């Protein structure tokens, strides 16, 4: 388990960018943490590090946004509105948990199931207005 203290939005972006450099196809990055803690910002950093120039917005009605212009395909899920594992499966999102590219998931705790792909499990915690504690652990498939 690795702990990083982010002291600014910029530092969280840079963390995502540095992860993106080492990412291999087939990984799922599962983000957990309260509203406004910085999950989407970390996704923006990942996208930038993969060379994706398109603006990153949380998928809402579409449930998944895909970005195919970077070094690896990036799939961005936000499960906030899906309360159960069954709802996630009926929404057709199961396939993104064993991606050909890389999947990053906001509100990963909603999945409540194992992941057969390689998983980076990330927890983001609010320390102060500008400080976040980010802990993560890798589980290789």
Rounded (5°) CA angle 11-38-138: 80
Select the residue interacting with ligand ATP from 23, 46, 72, 106 (CB under 6 A).
106
Which of 16, 32, 40, 93 forms a contact with ligand ATP (CB under 6 A)?
40
CB 30 to ligand ATP: min, Å: 13
Q: Exposed, middle or buried: residue 79 (CB in 10 Å: 0-12, 13-18, 19+)?
A: buried
| Footprint on residues 50-109 left by Mg ion (CB under 5 A) | 58, 106
Q: Minimal distance in Å, beta carbon 105 to ligand ATP?
A: 11
CA neighbor of 3 nearest in space, from 141, 102, 132, 139: 132
Q: Which residues bind Mg ion (CB under 5 A)?
A: 39-40, 58, 106
């Amino acid at each position: 388990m690795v702990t990083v203290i982010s002291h600014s939005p910029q530092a969280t972006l840079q963390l995502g960018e540095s992860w993106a450099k080492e990412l291999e196809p087939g990984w799922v990055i599962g983000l957990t943490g309260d509203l406004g803690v910085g999950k989407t910002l970390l996704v923006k950093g990942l996208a930038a590090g993969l060379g994706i120039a398109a603006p990153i917005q949380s998928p809402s009605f579409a449930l998944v946004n895909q970005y195919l212009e970077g070094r690896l395909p990036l799939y961005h899920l936000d499960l906030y509105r899906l309360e159960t594992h069954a709802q996630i499966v009926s929404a057709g999102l199961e396939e993104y948990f064993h991606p050909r590219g890389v999947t990053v998931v906001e509100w990963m705790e909603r999945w409540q199931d194992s992941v057969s792909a390689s998983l980076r499990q990330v927890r983001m915690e609010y320390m102060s207005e500008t400080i976040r504690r980010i802990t993560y652990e890798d589980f290789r498939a």
